[in-house]
């Protein structure tokens, strides 16, 4: 028997009970390992409903293949990002969704950290410094211009991007300097979790409580999340269900 090599692939998650979906990219440690995505903000959908995975496209198991796969994933997300309420992706090309930005901004303001830790005078002074140094590259045409002139990230070859990704120490530096979440104590992080952890689950719970599904094997009727737990506890295939309300 010949062992197959692990893969890099872009996938799509859908759910049996609701029309929401999620795109992702995965690099296997072993061939055909069980993997259903690594959601964070909308994790409740994976807990309440029955996820199904479709592998859309596979890529070479190389550093270059990983970069190309990530670009392909971005191309799938970009047309629906922040526009289709059924899309569960909360980031695209490193940019957070409006939902995440609002939640983060509210939390930052309440904790008085980041920009909210500065006085009005400090904000004005920082604005003058940034405007003086970088004002010439602003405007809607800055990105196309940088691409045309091959400056910034557009001036890097694929090989340089791969090398830079290997050398990147951004996350390590943030941890060393205790910035962002790394600057919060365990108590502060726990308190923040209590304050904001309920936000992501409200939508899913509302949808769940309004639906009734029946197990086609036993006839048991309840909401989709409870039915999933019921069927799994009895070894029943979770696809054996029918929506009745």
pLDDT 10s digits, 37-75 = 987 788 999 999 999 999 999 999 999 999 999 999 999
7 vs 120, more confident:
7
Residue 170, pLDDT score: 45
In terms of C-beta density within 10 A (0-12 exposed, 13-18 middle, 19 or more buried), how is residue 185 classed? exposed
Enter the pTM of the model. Answer: 0.46
Q: What pLDDT sits at residue 100?
A: 47
* Six-digit token string for 29: 């440690």
The values of phi and psi at residue 38, to 5°, are: -130, 65
Domain spans in the chain, listed from the N-terminal domain onward: 8-95, 98-184, 211-243
Residue with tokens 């604005």: 127
pLDDT confidence tier of residue 122, bands split at 50, 70 and 90: confident
């Amino acid at each position: 028997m010949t062992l197959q090599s692990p893969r890099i692939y872009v996938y799509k998650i859908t759910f049996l009970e609701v029309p929401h979906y999620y795109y992702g990219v995965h690099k296997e440690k072993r061939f055909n390992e069980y993997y259903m995505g690594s959601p964070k903000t909308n994790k409740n959908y994976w807990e309440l409903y029955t996820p199904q995975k479709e592998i859309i496209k596979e890529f070479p198991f190389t550093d270059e293949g990983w970069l190309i796969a990530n670009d392909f994933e971005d191309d799938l997300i970009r047309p629906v990002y922040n526009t289709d309420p059924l899309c569960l992706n909360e980031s695209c090309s490193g940019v957070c969704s409006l939902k995440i930005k609002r939640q983060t901004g509210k939390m930052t303001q309440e904790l008085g950290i980041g920009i909210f830790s500065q006085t009005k005078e400090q904000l004005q002074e920082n604005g003058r410094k940034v405007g003086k140094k970088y004002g010439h590259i602003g405007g809607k045409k800055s990105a196309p211009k940088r691409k045309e002139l091959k400056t910034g990230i557009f001036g890097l070859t694929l090989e340089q991007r791969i090398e830079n990704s290997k050398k990147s120490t951004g996350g390590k530096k943030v941890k060393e300097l205790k910035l962002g979440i790394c600057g919060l104590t365990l108590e502060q992080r726990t308190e923040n979790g209590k304050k904001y952890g309920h936000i992501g689950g409200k939508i899913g719970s509302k949808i769940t409580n309004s639906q009734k599904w029946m197990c086609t094997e036993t006839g048991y009727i309840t909401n989709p999340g409870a039915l999933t737990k019921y069927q799994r506890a009895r070894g029943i295939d979770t696809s054996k269900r029918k929506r009745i309300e």
